[in-house]
Chain A
Amino acid sequence: MIKTWELEPNFKYEIMKEPGGEHLTSCFQCSTCTLGCPLTEIVPGYNPRKIIQMSLLGMRNEVLSNPDLWVCLICQTCTARCPQDVRIADLLGAIRRIAEREEEAGKLKIDSVRPRFDKAFMHQLEKYGRLYDFGLAKEYYTGREGSFFKGMMAMSKDYKAFGMRLFKKGKMGPKALFPEKVKDREVMKKIFEQMGAGKK
Chain B
Amino acid sequence: MSERKYAYYPGCPSGTTAMEQDMSMKAVFEKLGIELEEVEDWNCCGASEVEDPEIVYALNARNLAIAEKQGLNIVTPCSICYYNLSRSNKALKGNEELRARVRSIDDSLAYNGGVEVKHVLDVLVNDIGIEALKQKVEKKVEAKVAPYYGCYIGRPPETAFDDPDAPGLMDRLVELVGAEVVPYNYTKTKCCGGPLMMTRQDIAFEMARKVLEGAKNAGADCIALACPLCGMMLDAKQPDIEEAFGIEIGMPVLYITQLLGLALGIDSGKLGLNKNIVDTKDIIGKVV
Contact = CB atoms under 8 A, between A and B. Distances in A.
Interface of A: 19-20, 38-39, 42-43, 70-71, 73-77, 79-81, 87, 89-90, 93, 96-97, 112-114, 117-118, 121-122, 124-125, 129-131, 133, 140, 158, 161-162, 165-166, 169-173, 175-176, 180, 182-184, 186-188, 190-192, 194-197, 200
B55 A162 contact: no
Contact of B15 (A19, A90, A169, A176): A176
B152 to A, nearest CB: 7
B47 A169 contact: no
B55 A187 contact: no
14 contacts: A19-B53, A71-B196, A73-B196, A73-B207, A114-B200, A121-B49, A125-B50, A165-B236, A169-B277, A186-B106, A187-B109, A188-B59, A195-B105, A197-B54
Interface string B145-185: 00000011011110010001000000000000000000000
Interface in B93-137: 101-102, 105-106, 108-109
Given A96-B51, A114-B199, A166-B277, 15 more contacts: A19-B52, A42-B203, A71-B196, A74-B48, A74-B151, A76-B156, A80-B157, A80-B160, A112-B199, A118-B51, A121-B47, A131-B13, A169-B274, A175-B16, A184-B108
Contacts of A190: 105-106
Nearest to A169: B275
- Secondary structure of the B side of the interface? loop
Contacts, number: 161
Interface of B: 12-13, 15-17, 19, 41-44, 46-55, 57-59, 62, 101-102, 105-106, 108-109, 151-152, 154-157, 160, 164, 189-191, 193, 195-196, 198-201, 203, 206-207, 236-237, 239-240, 274-277
